[in-house]
Amino acid sequence: MGKIITRLMIETAYEYSRKVFHNEMDLGSALNSISLLSGMHRGTALSHISDFCSMMKGEGYRSKITADATKYYLLNIHNDYDKEYFNKALKAVKLHIKNYKKEKQKNLIRLRIVVDEFEKEKLVTKV
């Protein structure tokens, strides 16, 4: 079993993912900061940054961050950015679920529940 991903790790990864996405910090420095501040392994931090950037572009992603991290990312993208970015992020998560099911023949049930929660709240149209 892998190391548990803590709330601090998720929050720190989100903060530095934003900096990388906006070209405020280079990837290597962000990975070092996330690891130093939260204890997250650099490889895991890379997945979180990569997935955040894919969400912001509305692109499916291959690495798999936890459902809790995905929920945190979606909620904060909703709060920190405009409707367009939130909708792109939600689209990216849906693409990830679809591609993961196709490639691995597995359903990401917890992730699907997260998407359903956001759609149920109609955040897609309210943002």
pLDDT in tens, 30-67: 999 999 999 999 999 999 999 999 999 999 888 889 99
**pLDDT at residue 125 in the model:** 47
Predicted pLDDT at 32: 98
Asked whether residue 105 is assigned to any structural domain, the reply reads yes
Domain range for 90 is 7-126
Residue 1 lies in a domain: no
Mean pLDDT of all residues in 72-99: 94
Residue 77 lies in a domain: yes
pLDDT tens digits for 93-125? 999 988 877 666 566 788 889 998 988 876 554
In a domain, 63, yes or no: yes
> What secondary structure does DSSP assign to 17-66, as a single string?
HHHHHTTSS-HHHHHHHHHHHH---HHHHHHHHHHHHHHHHT---SS---
Domain count of the chain?
1
The DSSP output letter for 1 is -
Q: DSSP letter at 121?
A: T
118 domain-assigned: yes
Identify the residue whose tokens are 């950015």: 81
pLDDT of residue 53: 98
Q: What is the pLDDT of residue 63?
A: 82
∠ CA 106-8-12 to the nearest 5 degrees? 90
Asked if residue 2 is part of any domain, the answer here is no
